[in-house]
Amino acid sequence: MTTIHRAGHRILIGFWAATFVVAYFCLLAGLVLAAVGLLMLWFFRIPPRPIYANPSEVTAVSDGKVVLIEEVFEDEHFGARVQKVSVFLSIFNVHAQWSPVAGRLAAFKYHPGKYLVAWHPKSSTLNERSTFVVDVPPSKDSAGGTVLFRQVAGAVARRLRWYVQPGDQLTQGQEVGFILFGSRIDFYLPLDASIQVEVGQKVVARSTVIARLA
């Protein structure tokens, strides 16, 4: 069953209350605002999302499209070269985020920043963003490791939400955050992880496998 995300409750109540007041005085303006309100309802929707859980696999944090796969030097946490996978979220994608792995949230940090368009190469390091670092324990199929993922605000998205704290034990597919409007998610994965997606591919939160840990 599709629901409305809690991040939108206050916004939607305020918007629709204003819409009814405007419509009382000017029906045409009220209809225009109502159309915008329907789009906002669509944006904050949370459709059913089945959980595909496997301790050795990294699943998509959000719906979207893979726009970048490359090897980079990550200096905030790893201090080493890692594999980066970027997923762009348009305003039509579901904007909730779910943990891609099960493990302990070893670190979390919010960074205020700029609002470059989300596909800009420097948005990962200059834009408003939040970094999640999860330590994944070993399993029968994997030695475990560390997975870092990042909420990155775009030119329109200027609000990040997160619902976890350092030290929390996360389950795979657990809700961890929400981004308002267009944005991106960046994954930083060990060099020995096997990437399972390609540029241009659309991914679905909690089910598309982004990578397999060695």
Please report, for residues 58, 138, 160, 170, 172, the alpha-carbon distance to residue 53 in angstroms, rounded to integers and kept in the order given: 9, 15, 25, 12, 6
Q: Which amino acid is at 115?
A: Y
Bridge partners, 109 (sequence order): 131
Q: Of the residues 56, 123, 183, 194, which is catalytic?
A: 183
Tokens linked to 31: 């209809």
Q: DSSP assignment of 28-42, as one string?
A: HHHHHHHHHHHHHHH
Q: Is 183 a catalytic residue?
A: yes
3: exposed, middle or buried (Cβ count in 10 Å: 0-12, 13-18, 19+): exposed
Q: Which residues belong to the active site?
A: 183
